[in-house]
Amino acid sequence: MRVIVFVRALFRQFGVGLRLLLSLLFPSLCLGCGAEGEQLCECCFSEVISGGVEKGFYADLLKVSTFVAAARYRAVARLCVLSAKHDGQADPQKWTEVVGQYLAERLWESIDCRGALYVVPAPSGLARRWSGRYVAAELSHEVAKSLVEIARQLGESCRVEVVCALQLSALRGSQAGRSAAQRNLRSGQISAFDGVLPHSARVVLIDDVVASGGTLKGCVNALRGAGAAVVAVAVACASTQAATVG
C-alpha cells in the first residue's frame, strides 16, 4: 500500500515538474494580445466578457425569448475567436472556460435551467472541422459544465446534455466572405439529425459568432422542425452595427 502511495506521489511530482518544464520551454501566449505568460492575460480577460450587445435585436430576429452574447465582435474578443478557430498553435482553453462560464451565468439568470436541458452547438462545415477547431462544440461543453456547477452550488437539480443535433450540408464551405443573401441561402442547408433529441426537448443553441444571424436562424428552424423548444441562444461574440450599443 505504501509503495503505491509513494509511486503515486512520485508520478504527481513528476507531472508537476513536467508541466513546469513545458511551460518554461513553451510559455503560454495570450489568445487576445499574444503577450507571453497566460492563455488569457488580465487585460484581455475582461474584454471577452464585456457584453455591450443589444440582445433584443437577435432575440427578435431568431424569435427566441433569450439571447445572450459575451462580447461584441471586435478588438480583443474578435481576435480571440479568430485565434481559437484558426491558430493551431494557440490554446483557447482558458478563453473557452471564461466565456462558457459567463454565458452559463447569464443563462441561469434568464431561463429555467432546472430539469433536463440540451445544449446544441451550431454545426460546422466539414472543411472547418478538418482544418481548425470546432469552437461552438467546445463552448457548448463549457456552458454545460458551468450550468451543472452553478446548480450544484445552489443545491438545485439540473441535467444538461451536449448534443450535436445539427448538420450542415457537406458541400458548403466557410461563411467568411459571403454576402448576407448567400448566408441566408445557407441557413436552409442546416438540418437536425433524426431522433437525437427527445420530442419537446428544451434546447440552448450555442455558436461562436453571430453576424447576419442567417446560420442561427437556420439552426433554430431546424430544431423547431424536429420538435425541440429553443429556450435560448448564446454566443461568444455578436456583430452587426444594428445590434450593438454603447
Cα 111–chain centre separation: 18
112 burial type by CB count under 10 A (0-12 exposed, 13-18 middle, 19+ buried): exposed
d(CA 165, CA 215): 15
Measured from the CB atom, the residue of 74 and 178 that comes closer to Zn ion is 74
Q: Could you tell me the smallest distance in angstroms from the CB atom of residue 46 to Zn ion?
A: 10
Measured from the CB atom, the residue of 32 and 213 that comes closer to Zn ion is 32
Q: What is the DSSP letter of 29?
A: B
Sheet holding 229-238, edge to edge: 67-72, 229-238, 202-210, 115-121, 158-162
Q: Could you tell me the smallest distance in angstroms from the CB atom of residue 145 to Zn ion?
A: 24
Measured from the CB atom, the residue of 33 and 148 that comes closer to Zn ion is 33
Alpha carbon distances (Å) from 158 to 69, 108, 109, 112, 169: 22, 10, 14, 10, 33
Q: Could you tell me the smallest distance in angstroms from the CB atom of residue 37 to Zn ion?
A: 9
Measured from the CB atom, the residue of 79 and 163 that comes closer to Zn ion is 79
Instruction: Write out the residues near Zn ion by the rule CB under 5 A.
Output: 30, 32-33, 41, 44
Cα 203–chain centre separation: 14
Q: Could you tell me the smallest distance in angstroms from the CB atom of residue 38 to Zn ion?
A: 8
Measured from the CB atom, the residue of 30 and 120 that comes closer to Zn ion is 30
